[in-house]
Amino acid sequence: MDFESLSGDLHRLMDHALAEIAETADPAALDELQIRYLGKKGDLTAVLRGIGALPPEDRPRVGAVANEIGEAVKAALAERGTELRSVVQAQRLAAEKVDVTLPGRTVPRGTLHPIPETIAAIAEVFGQFGFMVYEGPEIEDDLTNFQMLNIAPDHPARDLWDTLYVDIPGHLLRTHTSPGQIRVMQSTRPPIRALLPGRCFRYEAVDASHGFEFFQVEGLMVDEGTSMADLKGLLDEFAHALFGPRKTRFRPGYYPFTEPSVAFDVECVVCGGVGCPACSKTGWMTILGAGMVHPVVLQYGGIDPERYQGFAFGMGVERISNLRHAVPDLRYYLENDLRFLEQFR
Amino acid sequence: MRVPLSWLREYVDVQLSPEQLAERLTLLGMEVKGLERWGADWRSVVVGELLTVEKHPHADRLHLTTVNVGSGEPLHIVCGANNIAPGQRVPVALPGAVLPGDRRIERTEKMGITSEGMLCSGDELHITSDAEGILILPPATPLGLDLSELYGDVVLDVDVKPNRGDALCLLGLAREVAAATGATIRWPEIKVEETGGPVTAKLRVEIREPELCPRFVGRWVSQAKIGPSPDWVQMRLQAAGMRPVSNVVDAANYVMLELGKPTHTFNGAAVKDGIIIVRRALAGERLETLDHVERELTPDTLIIADPTGPIGIAGIMGGFDSEITDSTTEIAIESAVFDPVSIRRTGHRYALRSEASLRFEKGQESRLARIGADRVAQLTLAWAGGVLCEGRVDSAPTEPAAARLAFRPARVNKLLGADISVDEQRSLLRRVGVETEEGASGMRVQVAAAPKPLVVDSGSEPTVVAVVPTWRRDLAIEADLAEEIARVRGYETTAAHLPDTLMPAYRPTPLRVRELIRQTLAGVGLSEVVTHALVSPLDEARLLWPDDAAAPAVPESVAAPSGDDIVVTNPLSAQHSVLRRHLIASLLDVLSLNERQGRPDVAIFEIGKGYARIDGRPREWTRLAILLTGAAEPAAWNRVARPYDLDDAKGIVELVCRRLGLSEPTYVPDPRGFPFHPGRALVVGQESGSEAVGGRVAELHPDAVAAWDLRAQRVIVAEVAIGGLDVAAPTRMHVEPIPRFPEVERDLAVIVAESRTAAEVHSTIERHGGVLLRRVRLFDLYRGTPLAATEKSLAYRLVLGAKDRTLTEAEVDAAIVAVRKGLEVDLDAHLRT
C-alpha cells in the first residue's frame, strides 16, 4: 500500500459519495449516507485503516487528503439537505393552497339602535363644549312638566302637548324633556351647561311622522350674560358636526318657557337649499326649538333672573336621526324589525 | 288660519309674490305652513253670456240654452237650474273641463239633445254654498275670461302661535305684513246708521257672573230679511275655510275672520222678553245646541239664557231654538268678552271646540266687543237689510287704556347678544304698533309676570317706556319686548359666537356604563333594540316574570322593589296602557315580529326602564334585558350552526361584569318553573364596592314560548339590574403587582353527587383554599364509567402562590389537603386520582 493508491481510493470514495448524494431525493436517506461515509464505522474510516501500512512520512499527507475529502462530502450533504428541504417545503405549501377569494369567517357583530346612537352623537358634540348629561324622571308631576315651565293648568299652549296621564294623582308621562331644566337648576348652581336626553310621551295617534313614545334631548345653559348669540354659536357647531357645513338660521318660534323663542333651521339636507318636497320647497329644515329661558322658569329653578340669563333648546332624536339616515317612517324605530336595525352597521 | 290673499290685500298693500310674502311672514314668526292656489283645480271654465233660454222639448225640468263664450259659435248647453235668463253672465265649463273633486265635464247627450258643456253653480266650483242655482256673475265680467283669473286666489295657511290670539284674523295678519314691509294698515270703515228705536226697548242684559263675562255688548236689528249673503262674501268665507250659511250668520263669521272677534246672533223672537242673562247653568238644565245635540249642562258652565232657560253655551255654541232661520226678522247681536280659562274648561268638558271658542280661549281685548258689535250690525244691514236700533247695551263701556311697560335697552342687548341702538330698538317696536317714550331713572321694570312676578328698580340704568297696544296681551315683561325687537329686526342678524363664560364642574355621565355595555354586547353579536315603555296589561299576566323580591340573591342595591303597575288613565289603546315592570315581554314581541319576517336567529338586547308604583309614588329603574334564540353561529361554508343556549347568556352576563370591573357573578338555581324551564333558570347576583349586578337568566318554559305564539324551540332570556345604569359613579380598577415568585398549578377531580351544584363545589374550594389559593377554574365536567349514575366529576385547576416567596412542596400539599378535606366533609365528595 502506498500513498498514491490510498489517495486514489479516497478520491474514488469521494466521487462515489458525491454521486450518491446528488442522486438522493429523500432527506432521511441523506442522514444514512452521512453515517455510511463519515460515521465512526463509515467508509472513510475504513479506508483510513490502511494508513498504518504507509511510511510515516506519508501519513500526514494522507491525513490532509482525508480531511479535505471529509469536508467535501459534508458540504455536499449539507447543500443537498438544504436543497431537499426547500423542495419538500415547496411541495407542502403547494398542497396547502386555498381559494383565498372565499369569504372570511364571520365574526358575530351586533348593531346599535339609532336612537341611543343619535343621543350619543349629540352628547358627544355638546360634551366638547362642557355640557354634562343629566336625566329626569319619565313619570313627572304636573308642576314640573307644565306649571314651573310657565304653562298654567288652563294655558291655551297646553294644546301643544297632548298628555297621557297615569293613575298617580298629580302625575303624568312627561310630554317633553324640558322639566329636566327645572330639576337641573334646582340641583346645581350656575354656571350650568346641561344636556338631558330621554323618552317622552304624548297622546298622539301613530303614523309615519307621529308616535306616542319618542325621544328628545334638552339642552340648558345658564350663566351671567349667556345670550342668544352664544346659543346661535353652539347650535351652528352642532349642526355642522352632524350635517356638515351648511347654512343655518333662527326664525321666531313660540314656547311658554322661553322668551324670546326661536326655531333653528338648517339648509335642507336633501336638496341643499334649492327647495324640494322634503323641505316643502322652502330650502330649510327645522331641527330644533330653542330660546332664552323665561324669567319665570329661572325663578322656579331658584335662579335670580336679574343676575343670570340662559338658553334652552330641545330636539327630537328621531328627527335628527331621520335627517342623518334618511329614515322614511317613524314607526321603524320602536318596531325593531331586524331588516331596519341591521342597516346600522 | 287660512288667509285668502285677495282678502288680506283689502287691509294692506302686498307688493311681494305669494312665496316672498310667505317667507317674510315665516321669518317674522307667523309660519306659513302652506300655499294653496285657490281655483287651481278649475280648468277650462270660462265666462259666458246666455243668449237664449228655452224649455227642453223632452224634459220639463231642463232648459236649453245658447251661450256665447267670446269666441267661436255659441254653444248649446242643457241646464237644470231655474235662475237663468238671457243676458246673464255665467261660468261655463267647456268640454274637457275639470272641476273641483276631479270632476270631468264632457260633451254629453241629455234627453236627446247634445250639451256642449255645463253651466256651473257656486257649489260645483266650491266658491259658494249654493247648489240650486247657476252662479250669476257681474254683468261687466269679460266674456271668455278664464274663471281662475277672475276668482283664483292664493290662500296662505298660517300657523298662529297660541300666544298671538290677536293675529288669528285678517287684520291681525295685515298688521304683521305691515311690520314686515313697512306698509300701512287700512282699517275697514265701520259705521252704522241707527234708524230704529232705542235698543233698550228691545234688549236687556243681566250679567250675573261679571268675572266670567267682563263685558257684554248687545245690538238689535229689526225687519232683517234672511237669505244667502253676496257671492263675494261666500267666496271669501269658503276660501278661508268656513261654510257660508246665511247673510246674518255669515256676517258674524266674516267679522270673526276679519277682526278676530267672535260674536253670536240670536233669533230675537226666541229671546223671551228680549232679556239676556249671563249666568252659570243650574243643575239639570239642558240645551239642544246648533249641532242638534241635546246637552246636559253642569253648574260650572257659563251660559247665555233668557228668562225661560239656556239659549247658548257662552263663547262656544248657540242653542238650536234661538238659531237664525229663514223666517227670522229680529236679530239680537251678542259681542262679549269671556274668561279664557272658563271657555277652555267648558270646551273640554263638552268636547266642543269651535272657531269662536278657540279665539276666546286666547283672550280678547275689551275694545273689540264694541267694534265687533258695530261691524256685525253694519254687515247685517248691508246684506240682510233691516233697521238697527239706536245705541248698544254695554255691561262695561269703560275700555282699558294701553299698558305701559318700562324696559332697559341694555338688557335687551345683553339677552340677544346684540348691539342695537336705543333709537333702533324704538323704531323696531313702532313697526309692530308699540309706541315708545323716554324713560326716567328709578322705574319699575317687570322682569317676570304671574305666576312668579318679579319687578325691579331700574336705578340709574337708562330706560324706555313701551306703550303696548291693547291687542297685544302677550307683551307683559321686558323679555317680551326683547323678542319683538329681535323678530322685527330679523333673527338672521343674530351674531353667533361660542360661549366664553365659566365651564361647569365635572360630572360623570350616566350614559357611560350604558355605552360600555352597548359596545360590548354589539361586539359579541347582539343587536340593540328600543321598545315601547307602554305595554299591554296582558303581558304581565302572560309571562308572570317574578319580581326581585322573590330572589334574595339579587343585591338590595339594585333590586327593584315590588310594587303595582302604573296605569295610563287616558290610553290611546289597551295595547299600550300600562308602564312595563319588566322588559322581557317587549323583547318577546320583537322576536315574534322578526320570526314572522322569516328571521329565526335573533340575538337582541335592550337597556331600558321598568316602572312601578311603590307606596303611592312612581319609581323607575334601568335594566339590561337579553334575548337569544336560534343559531349563535349560523351555518356557513366553513362551519356548522351552533344554537344559543343558557351558557351563552351566562357568558354574556359574565362578560358585562368583567367589563364593568366586577368579579364573576354567583348563580343560584331557580327551580320555580313557569315562566322558566325548571331545570334551566337561575338568579344571578354580584356585589363589590359600589357596583352590583342582580337578576335572572333562564331558558323560557315551553308554555311561555307558546303563549307568545313563537316558533322558536328554545328562547334564552335574561334581565339584570346593574349598578351604574341609573346613577353614574366613577369606577376604578385596581391592578395587582405581577407576581415575582412562580405560581404553582394543581388539578383536582372532584366526584360529587349529581345534586350538588358547581357553585357549591367552587365556593367550597375557595373557602378552604386559604391565603395561598389565588384562582380556581373549572376545566372539565365528566359523567359515566367508572362513576356511578348518581355521580359526576368536576375537574378544577387551582393556582397557588405567595407574594413574598416561592412556595415549598409542603406548603402546596398542605393547602391541597385542606381543600380536599373540606370537600369531603362539606360536600361528601371524593377525589379521583
Summarize pLDDT for B798-822 with one digit per residue, the tens. Answer: 999 999 999 999 999 999 999 999 9
Concatenated DSSP letters of B500-519: -SPPPPP---THHHHHHHHH
Name which of B36-40, B238-242, B323-327 the model is least confident about: B36-40
pLDDT above 60 for B444: yes
Name the minimum distance, in Å, from the CA of A328 to any CA of chain B.
Answer: 18
Q: By 3-state DSSP, what share of chain A in percent is helix, strand and coil, each rounded to 5?
A: 45, 20, 35
Task: Select the residue from A259, A266, A274, A335 to test the B interface by mutation, using most B Cβ atoms within 10 A.
Answer: A259
- Is the per-residue pLDDT at B56 higher than 80? yes
> Could you give the 3-state DSSP secondary structure of residue A82?
helix
pLDDT of residue B727: 65
A224 touches chain B (CB under 8 A): yes
User: What pLDDT score does B562 carry?
Assistant: 81
Cell of residue B177, nine digits: 305684513
Element (H, E) at B782: strand B773-782
**E strand intervals along B25-58:** 31-38, 43-56
- As given in the structure block, the three cell numbers for residue B37 are 292656489
Lookup: cell for B790: 348518581
Interchain pair B510, A135: CB under 8 A: yes
Query: B618 and A168 in contact by Cβ < 8 A?
Result: yes
Query: Between chains, do A252 and B525 touch, taking CB under 8 Å as contact?
Result: no
Mutation target vs B (from A251, A255, A318; most B CBs, 10 A cutoff): A251
A 278-317 residues with CB < 8 A to B:
280, 282, 292, 294-296, 299-300, 305-306, 309
User: What confidence tens digit (pLDDT) does each residue in A10-67 have?
Assistant: 888 888 888 888 888 888 888 888 888 888 888 878 877 777 778 888 888 888 888 8
Contact B34 A280 (CB under 8 A): yes
- Rounded to a whole number, what is the distance in Å from the CA of A168 to chain B's nearest CA? 7
Q: What is the pLDDT of residue B708?
A: 92
Q: Do A138 and B620 touch (CB under 8 A)?
A: yes
Do the Cβ atoms of A120 and B511 come within 8 Å?
yes
Over range A267-285, report the average pLDDT: 88
In chain A, pLDDT over 90 holds for what percent of residues? 65
Picking from A108, A253, A342, the nearest residue to B524 by CB comes out as: A108
Cis peptide before A260 (omega within 30 of 0): yes
Whether residue B595 contacts residue B626, with contact meaning beta carbons closer than 8 Å, is answered with no
Contact status, residue B302 vs residue B361, Cβ threshold 8 Å:
no
CB contact under 8 A, B568 and A237: no
Element (H, E) at B411: helix B409-416
Q: What pLDDT, on the 0 to 100 scale, is given for residue B730? A: 55
Asked if B364 and B261 touch (Cβ cutoff 8 Å), the reply is yes
Angle of helix A228-243 versus helix A114-128 axis, rounded to 10:
130
Residue found under cell 439537505: A81
Min mean pLDDT across B163-167, B543-547, B625-629 is at B543-547
Query: Is A213's CB within 8 Å of B534's CB?
Result: yes
Average pLDDT over residues B154-161: 94
Which of B344, B568, B599 comes nearest A165 by C-beta? B568
Please, how many CA atoms are within 13 Å of residue A258, restricted to the half-sphere of its CB?
30
Q: Which residues in chain A are closer than 8 Å to B637, comparing Cβ atoms?
A: 102-103
Return residues 659-678 of B near A (CB < 8 Å).
Answer: none
pLDDT for B5 equals 95
Residue-by-residue DSSP string for B323-356: ---TT---EEEEEEE--HHHHHHHHHHTT---HH
**C-beta atoms of A260 and B499 within 8 A:** no
State percent of chain B over pLDDT 70. 99
Q: Where does the pLDDT of residue B214 fall: very low under 50, low under 70, confident under 90, or very high at 90 and above?
A: very high
How far apart CA B264 and CA B272 sit, in angstroms, is 17
Are A226 and B340 in contact (CB < 8 Å)?
no
Distance, in Å, from the CA atom of B314 to the CA atom of B342, rounded to the nearest integer, reads 10
**Shortest CA distance to B766 belongs to which of B755, B756, B778?**
B778
Whether chain A has a CB inside 8 Å of the CB on B452: the answer is yes
pLDDT (tens digit, 9 = 90+) per residue, B395-435? 999 999 999 999 999 999 999 999 999 999 999 999 999 99
pLDDT grade, residue B636 (50/70/90)? Answer: confident
Cross-chain residue pair B23–A341, CB shorter than 8 Å: no
Residue B655 sits at the chain A interface (C-beta within 8 Å)? no
The C-alpha cell that represents B342 in the structure block = 272658563
Report the residue of chain A nearest B456, measured CA to CA: A306
Q: Taking CB atoms and an 8 Å cut-off, how many pairs form between chains A and B?
A: 289
| A123 with B566: Cβ contact below 8 A | no
Place of cell 332697559: B408
State whether residue B716 is helix, strand or coil.
Answer: strand
pLDDT score, position A187: 95
Rounded to 10°, the helix A114-128/B511-523 angle is 130
Closest residue in chain B to residue A310, using alpha carbons only? B415
Give A137's contacts in chain B (Cβ within 8 Å): 618, 620
The full set of domains in chain B, from first to last, is 2-39+155-181 (3.30.56.10), 43-151 (2.40.50.140), 199-394 (3.50.40.10), 403-492 (3.30.56.10), 511-722 (3.30.930.10), 744-832 (3.30.70.380)
Residue from A159, A227, A264, A317 whose CB has the most chain B CBs within 10 Å, to mutate: A227
Tell me if chain B has a CB within 8 Å of the CB of A250: yes
pLDDT at A14: 86
Task: Give the whole-angstrom CA distance, residue B270 versus residue A96.
Answer: 106
Model pLDDT for residues B714-748, shown as the tens digit of each residue? 999 999 998 877 766 656 677 888 989 999 999 99
- Among chain A residues, the shortest Cα distance to B418 is held by A229
Question: Is the backbone peptide bond immediately before B675 cis, with ω within 30 degrees of 0?
Answer: yes
Task: For residue A62, count other CB atoms closer than 10 A to its CB.
Answer: 18
A145-154: per-residue pLDDT in tens?
999 999 988 8
C-alpha cell at A342: 341591521
Q: How far is B312 from chain A (nearest CA, A)?
A: 22
**For residue B456, which phi and psi values (nearest 5 degrees)?**
-120, 160
pLDDT for res B402: 94
Q: Do A306 and B499 touch (CB under 8 A)?
A: no
pLDDT tens profile B739-776: 899 999 999 999 999 999 999 999 999 999 999 999 99
A192 part of contact set with chain B, CB < 8 Å? yes
Question: What does pLDDT average to over chain B?
Answer: 93
Which among B491, B579, B727 is the top mutation candidate for probing chain A, defined by the most A β-carbons within 10 Å of its own β-carbon?
B491
- In chain B, whose CA is at the least distance from the CA of A304? B454
Q: Per the CB < 8 Å rule, is B486 touching A147?
A: no
Alpha carbon of B641: minimum distance to chain A alpha carbons (Å):
12
- In sequence order, which residues have a C-beta less than 8 Å from that of residue B355 and are 6 or more positions away? B242, B253, B256, B262
Read off the pLDDT band of B659 (50, 70, 90). Answer: confident
Put simply, the answer to whether B637 touches A103 (Cβ < 8 Å) is yes
Q: How far apart are CA B371 and CA B375, in angstroms?
A: 6
d(CA B446, CA B346): 32
- Distance separating alpha carbons of residues A207 and A205, to the nearest angstrom: 7
Q: Which residue in the set B456, B527, B572 is minimally distant from A342, CB to CB?
A: B527
Q: Which has the closest alpha carbon to B2: B230, B229, B253, B366?
A: B253
Specify the pLDDT at position B417. Answer: 96
Of B576, B599, B618, the CB nearest to A338: B599
Which of B314, B309, B326 is closest to B249 using CA atoms?
B326
- CB of B71 less than 8 A from some CB of A: no
Residues on chain A touching B489 (C-beta within 8 angstroms):
none
| Cis peptide preceding B244, ω within 30 of 0 | no
Residue of higher predicted confidence among B280 and A154: B280
With beta carbons under 8 A apart, name residues in chain B contacting A310. none
How many whole angstroms separate alpha carbon B317 and alpha carbon B292?
Answer: 11
State the cell numbers at B241: 275655510
Provide DSSP, B236-266: HHHHTT-----HHHHHHHHHHHHHS---EEE
Third-level CATH fold of A114-341:
BirA Bifunctional Protein; domain 2 (3.30.930)
Residue B690 has pLDDT above 80, yes or no: no
What local confidence, expressed as pLDDT, does residue A1 receive? 66
A234-262 burial by CB neighbour count: b if 16+ within 10 A, else e? Answer: bbbbbbeebbeebebbbbbbbbbbbbbbb
B329-388 per-position pLDDT tens digit: 999 999 999 999 999 999 999 999 899 999 999 999 999 999 999 999 999 999 999 999
pLDDT-derived band at A277 (thresholds 50, 70, 90) equals confident
pLDDT band at B141 (very low <50, low <70, confident <90, very high): confident
CA B243/CA B249 separation, integer angstroms: 10
* ipTM of model: 0.88
For residue A158, what is the nearest residue in chain B, using CA coordinates?
B162
pLDDT in the model for residue A38: 84
How distant is the Cα of A209 from the closest Cα of chain B, in angstroms? 16
Mean pLDDT of B320-326: 95
Burial class (CB in 10 A: 0-12, 13-18, 19+), B404: middle
DSSP string, B442-467: T-EEEEE-TTS-EEEE-TTS--EEEE
Average pLDDT of span B490-507: 91
Contact A44, A69 (CB under 8 A): yes
Query: Is the CB of A147 inside 8 Å of chain B's CB atoms?
Result: yes
pLDDT-above-90 percentage for chain B: 77
The pLDDT of residue B816 is 95
Residues B55-70: what's their mean pLDDT?
88
**Residue A64 has what pLDDT?**
85
Partner A, chain B 744-803, Cβ-Cβ below 8 Å: none
d(CA A307, CA A309): 7
Q: Give the chain A residue nearest B475 (alpha carbons).
A: A259
The pLDDT tens digits of the residues spanning A212-234 come to: 999 999 999 999 999 999 999 99
Q: Are A200 and A176 in contact (CB under 8 A)?
A: yes
> What's the pLDDT score for residue A108?
79
pLDDT digits (tens, 9 = 90+) for A289-325: 999 999 999 999 999 999 999 999 999 999 999 999 9
Q: Sheet holding B403-407: strands in order across?
A: B403-407, B464-468, B435-438
Distance from CA of A88 to the nearest CA of B (A): 28
Q: A1 and chain B: CB distance < 8 Å anywhere? A: no
Distances (CA, A) of A260 to A183, B659, B711: 22, 46, 57
Q: How far apart are CA B470 and CA B259, in angstroms?
A: 14
Question: What per-residue confidence (pLDDT) applies to A157?
Answer: 78
Give the pLDDT band of residue B832 (cuts 50, 70, 90): confident
Q: A139–B620: do the CB atoms touch at under 8 Å?
A: yes
